[in-house]
């Protein structure tokens, strides 16, 4: 009996040793599912310049704004190294900087409010380890009014249990990866999550021309006739079933590193949302 207890205790210790630390969880979220570098890491001649990871870049210039993703490295003069953990967390989840100013689009503030306390803390913990890069970024210019806030202060947000479930897929596709931000049809106030969740139609201009976010709903215009494996391949490699390549700004290089179960959970969630035709 004593031998069995010892063996059981060793097994528990082994499981504990395998559990993710907050820093590991944060690194995973920031560098894969949330794909923060897709906006915050500058480009070099061969793609993202990882020697200056998360030091900021011009994301887009369009009719309503010129959006510059800020330097979120630990540089104390030009990044967030001088911010407290609470200030970083508030900026991520509520869109409010330490000076009280509001963070504007394309930062998906309406979705980041749903980040769990645990995951938000993990992301902040990881950002504290990011190499400082001294790089001054211009301020974004908005030709539209920004709200005074994106809602009341966020209280406790519980964890969503990990697993290949609709619930966890909704959490990953919403608050973390913000898939429904880009893939929902634009309305007067931004993505129309009420009437056009996942129906696609949002245009993105870049050196490649204009790409339009496709329909992700289980409609014939969306993913109904694709296998789960085909949808997963599109997410993680940007390759369509016919072998053709999809355009940016999807962060395929980041999503390629996602856990297979997390990709499967997202696909499971997409199968569960209302089937909608392409926007007209």
Q: Which residues of the chain have a pLDDT value below 70? A: 1-18, 280
What pLDDT, on the 0 to 100 scale, is given for residue 17? 43
C-alpha distances in Å from residue 78, one per residue of 5, 73, 74, 249: 54, 8, 9, 26
Work out the angle between the directed axes of helices 85-94 and 117-127 (0-180°, nearest 10): 120
| pLDDT given at position 2 | 41
**What does the pLDDT read at residue 18?**
63
pLDDT, position 205 = 83
Please state, as a whole number, how many other Cβ atoms lie within 10 Å of the Cβ of residue 1. Answer: 5
Whole-model pTM over 0.85: yes
Q: In the prediction, which pLDDT does 3 show?
A: 53
65 bridge partner residues: 142
CATH 1.10.760, applies to 20-144: yes
pLDDT for res 97:
98
Q: Can you state the angle between helices 228-237 and 260-272, rounded to 10 degrees?
A: 120
Q: Are 91 and 103 in contact (CB under 8 A)?
A: yes
* pLDDT at res. 80: 98
List all residues 6 or more positions away from 197 whose beta carbon is below 8 Å from its beta carbon: 180, 184, 217, 273, 274, 276
Domain(s) of CATH 1.10.760: residues in the chain: 20-144, 160-280
* Statement: 160-280 belongs to CATH 1.10.760: yes
**pLDDT for 66:** 95
């Amino acid at each position: 009996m004593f031998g069995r207890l010892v063996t059981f205790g060793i097994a528990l210790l082994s499981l504990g040793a395998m559990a993710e630390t907050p820093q590991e969880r944060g690194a995973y979220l920031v560098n894969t599912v949330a794909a923060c570098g897709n906006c915050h890491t500058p480009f070099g001649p061969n793609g993202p310049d990882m020697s200056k990871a998360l030091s900021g870049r011009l994301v887009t210039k369009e009719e309503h704004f010129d959006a510059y993703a800020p330097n979120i490295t630990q540089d104390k003069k030009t990044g967030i190294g001088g911010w407290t953990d609470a200030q970083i967390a508030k900026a991520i989840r509520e869109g409010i900087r330490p000076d009280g100013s509001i963070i504007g689009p394309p930062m998906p503030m309406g979705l980041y409010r749903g980040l769990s306390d645990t995951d938000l803390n993990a992301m902040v913990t990881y950002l504290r380890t990011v190499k400082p890069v001294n790089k001054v970024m211009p301020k974004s210019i908005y030709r539209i009014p920004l709200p005074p806030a994106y809602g009341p202060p966020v209280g406790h947000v519980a964890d969503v249990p990990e697993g290949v479930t609709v619930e966890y897929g909704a959490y990953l596709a919403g608050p973390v990866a913000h898939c429904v931000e880009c893939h929902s049809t634009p309305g007067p106030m931004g993505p129309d999550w009420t009437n056009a969740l996942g129906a696609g139609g949002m245009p993105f201009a870049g050196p490649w021309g204009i790409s339009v976010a496709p329909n992700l709903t289980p409609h014939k215009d969306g993913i109904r006739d694709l296998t789960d494996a085909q949808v997963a391949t599109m997410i993680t490699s940007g390759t369509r079933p016919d072998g053709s390549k999809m355009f940016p700004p999807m962060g395929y290089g980041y999503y390629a590193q996602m856990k297979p179960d997390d990709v499967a959970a997202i696909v499971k969630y997409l199968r569960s949302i209302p089937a909608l035709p392409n926007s007209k």
